[in-house]
Amino acid sequence: MGTWNLKYISYDSSGVNITKPIPFNKLVINDNLAYTIYMDQTNPVENGIINIVTQTNNKLELYFDAQYPSYSSFAGSHVFGFSNVELISLSNDEMILKTINAGYGEYSDKEITYNR
């Protein structure tokens, strides 16, 4: 929960690890699992609900179900695409999410690192 600032996105492109920033750089998660993604820290570009897909003692799989804008809800999240994500790491200062079996291209499997 809370406000998370995007640190970087890392993904494998044909064996070459690429790390880059993106303009969707702020994620706010509320206690009710509603979320908002911002561009340039101030302009909301997406909101929705985080659905818990699988939860065990050592794994948490989530789906960011975009509700606004309406075209997002049909195409998936601006950041996560139309795939589930796994919580890789969480501390007071850092959160790392990884997409699971995402399609090729912009949403191919990647790690998204946030910090406070």
| CATH number of residue 20's parent domain | 2.40.128.540
Range of the domain at 20: 2-115
Nearest 5°: the CA angle 58, 14, 16 is: 80
pTM (predicted TM-score): 0.82
Q: What pLDDT does 104 receive?
A: 58
Q: Which residue has the tokens 């969480």?
A: 90
How many CB atoms within 10 Å of residue 46?
22
Number of domains in the chain: 1
- Exposed, middle or buried: residue 31 (CB in 10 Å: 0-12, 13-18, 19+)? exposed
Tell me the per-residue pLDDT of 62-113, one tens digit each, with 9 for 90 and over. Answer: 999 988 877 666 667 777 777 889 999 999 999 999 988 776 555 567 888 8
Tell me how far apart the alpha carbons of residues 54 and 111 are, in angstroms, rounded to a whole number.
19
- Inter-residue contact 61 to 40 (CB < 8 Å): no
- Inter-residue contact 68 to 48 (CB < 8 Å): yes
**3-class secondary-structure state, position 54:** strand
